[in-house]
Amino acid sequence: MNFYEQELTKLKQDDCLRKISNISYKEGKYIIVNGKKYINLSSNDYLGLSTNKDMIQEFIETNKNNNEFLFSSASARLLTGTSSIYSKLENNLAKLFNKESCLLYNTGYQCNLGIISSLVQKGDVIFCDKLNHASIIAGMKLSQTDFYRYKHLDYQHLETLLQKYRTKYKKAVIISESVFSMDGDIADIKKLVELKNKYDCILMIDEAHAFGVFGKNLCGISEMVNVSNDVDIITATLGKAFASVGAFCVANKTYIDYFVNKSCSFIFSTALAPVNVMWTNWLIENKINLIKEKQQKLNTLFKQVHEYIKDNGQTQIIPVIIGQNKQTVEIANKLQDKVFFVLPVRVPTVPQNTARLRLSLTADITFEEMKALFKIIKEQL
């Protein structure tokens, strides 16, 4: 048995082996896997827009004769993989966030990776929430700069690190998600702004799981708590609540011009397909009221659910911590037997002994369905 076979065997023994599900298609809040129909609780399609066939058909009929209705850009943005629709989307997003400028990336992972790895150099420092996304950690490592990880949402610990280390470096960056993807908890961005100003730092917030779900203009937690203008760099994805593909960074023009010249994941990647860029623009320009209706529907649902289960949660992401991998897999399988498509989240995605069910609520799921799901979980525990 070679090294790779041994590793796979060990993963299987530890109930950590990942497999790609045999998904046939998705239909509204449902997902069809191996011919069986489930209520989908493992999706980031928070507003339930990605499978809206009437809306998709309307988009196609409206835009199919446009010269930009193409399925490949066939080049990087700095070559020929760009056109006016890309700038249009960047302008729309910058306006939505009330920022000077915007830059599109192909994925949220590439966005964080490219921005962080170019933002700092040797002699600089990053202060990072311990539970930040893997893309943020990878960007820090690629930057080859020093970094310190503060305890999750522990701003006293962050300030202790700032007091100890900030003066030893040139530039300093504080990075946090707004809504954390595995726990569904929320960063205190007002406090982060306070610390940023006190210790002369750059503040970067990843709004991936909040964009489209929170804020009057759909712009996430920074907007909701009225500190967007104080956050230097905001990143978010288009492939979750906005039912499209890609990601973006909004900031002042200096930062964006710098990333155009220094961010490798932007410079050396074939650009998003024009049809996807058109789709996102069309949603922003024509369906913003529908998106806000769905936002309100989702907010009502997750508030009802959190009140029902008597926890302190405030978002559409609800973790049910089981602990051990094996039991988590067993309960996930039991829920699937009862037509709830819930997947187990295990080490190394989450820390040791915190294996969990990550329940991801979407706008068209009903409160009654969630009550039925929690009844099954209670019986299993």
pLDDT tens sequence across 205-216: 999 999 999 999
Would the pLDDT of 1 be above 90? no
- pLDDT above 90 covers a percentage of the chain that reads 94
Which segments of 154-229 are extended strands (E)?
172-177, 202-206
Rounded to whole angstroms, the Cα distance separating 88 from 176 reads: 28
Residues of the chain with CATH 3.40.640.10: 71-286
**More confident position, 49 or 348:** 49
The 10s digit of each residue's pLDDT in 183-195 is 999 999 999 999 9
> For residue 73, what are the contacts with CB-CB under 8 A and spacing of at least 6?
81, 82, 270, 271, 272, 273, 274
| One CATH from 3.40.630.90, 3.30.465.10, 3.90.1150.10, 3.40.50.1000 for 10-52+289-380 | 3.90.1150.10
Read off the amino acid at residue 82.
Answer: T
Name the CATH architecture for the domain at 71-286: 3-Layer(aba) Sandwich (3.40)
pLDDT at 176: 98
Q: For CATH 3.90.1150.10, list the domain ranges present in the chain.
A: 10-52+289-380
| DSSP 8-state class, residue 271 | P
Which of 310, 254, 296, 321 has the alpha carbon at shortest distance from 103?
A: 254
